[in-house]
Amino acid sequence: MNYGFVFPYGDPRWLSEAARIAEDHGWDGVFIPDCIHITVANGPTFDPWVALAAMAMRTERVRLGPMRTPLSRRRPWKVARETMSLDHLSNGRLILSVGLGALDDAGFGAVGEATDRRTRAEMLDESLAIITGLWTGHPFSFSGQHFQVGEMTFLPPIVQRPRIPIWVAGIWSSQRSLARALRWDGLLPNRVESDADWRGLDPILAARRQEGPFDYVVEGRTPGDDRAAAAATVTPFVLRGATWWLEAMWLAPNGPDDILRRVRQGPPRFV
């Protein structure tokens, strides 16, 4: 099991220092939101790629990435350049997680971006095909319903092989949503609300892993001052084959001091 920390907000300087502290205290990954404008009391919003670059420069070991990038409102060729650059800057530590995006983010409807779920899903699929094609460093072209790419070669290619890992948010009870996630490198399940839901996922993930490595990513919150309670929270997911636990402090108390206190308490490692 790997343990990551999701910082709910922060400017690039603070996030770079927080990422360094997380690395020093045993966390395996650091992640930040990719949003334009969500009205919450968490704090100011900064561009994720600028912040991640600052975090990469202050760390050496931890994986890092956005949580999660809604590709329907980004130009995929620009994302290919941004992720390639960050993969080189971090010496191959980037993880790209993607999804349809939260519609309470005004960066969709308030600025004319697609809000229809089907359209965003189509754009997500086309974007992933374009990004991974451009990552190869070989001639690539694409013709889709939403995006067109004339033949071009992006150099340099990415550092990681076979590619930068791609985690996809998926609703396990939706065949299309789950099938999308299973085509890539990891699943961030949404709407898993009962033990029956978890049992339904078990054979699906087991079958996918016969094809190659596949991450099962769980997000939650544990008490840093109660190791037994924290381990009890994480243990069921470990036993079901989860590969990442993401500690996420979306709700109060989550001031800067609260966040760094939890970071310094370390991950809820399963023993």
Query: Domain map of the chain by residue range?
Result: 2-265
Contact 63, 29 (CB under 8 A): yes
Residue 41 has a pLDDT of: 47
Q: Half-sphere exposure (CA, 13 Å, Cβ side) for 98?
A: 28
Residue 31 to residues 34, 68, 202, 248: CA-CA distances in angstroms?
Answer: 10, 9, 26, 9
For residue 91 the two structure tokens come to: 């010496």
Q: What is the pLDDT of residue 188?
A: 92
Give the Å distances, CA to CA, from 133 to 136, 158, 177.
6, 11, 22
What H or E segment, with its residue span, contains residue 244?
Answer: strand 244-248
Cα(257)–Cα(2) distance, integer angstroms = 24
Residue at token pair 């374009």: 130
Instruction: Report the b/e string of 140-153 with b at 16+ CB within 10 A.
Output: bebeeeebebeeee
SS3 63: strand
Q: Report yes or no: 6 and 35 within 8 Å, Cβ to Cβ.
A: no
Beta bridge partners, 163, equal: none
Q: What is the pLDDT of residue 216?
A: 94
What is the per-residue pLDDT for 174?
A: 84
Res 193: pLDDT: 58
Strand, helix or coil at 168?
strand
The angle at the Cα of 67, spanning 208 to 47, to the nearest 5 degrees, equals 145
CATH of 2-265 among 3.30.450.20, 3.20.20.30, 3.30.450.70, 3.40.50.2300: 3.20.20.30
Please list, in sequence order, all residues whose beta carbon lies within 8 angstroms of the beta carbon of residue 91, skipping any fewer than 6 positions away. 159
What pLDDT sits at residue 172? 77
> Number of C-alpha atoms within 13 angstroms, CB side, residue 250?
12
267 and 15 in contact (C-beta within 8 Å)?
Answer: no
**Residue pointed to by tokens 């290619």:** 157
> With a threshold of 0.75, does the pTM exceed it?
yes
pLDDT-flagged residues of the chain (< 50): 41
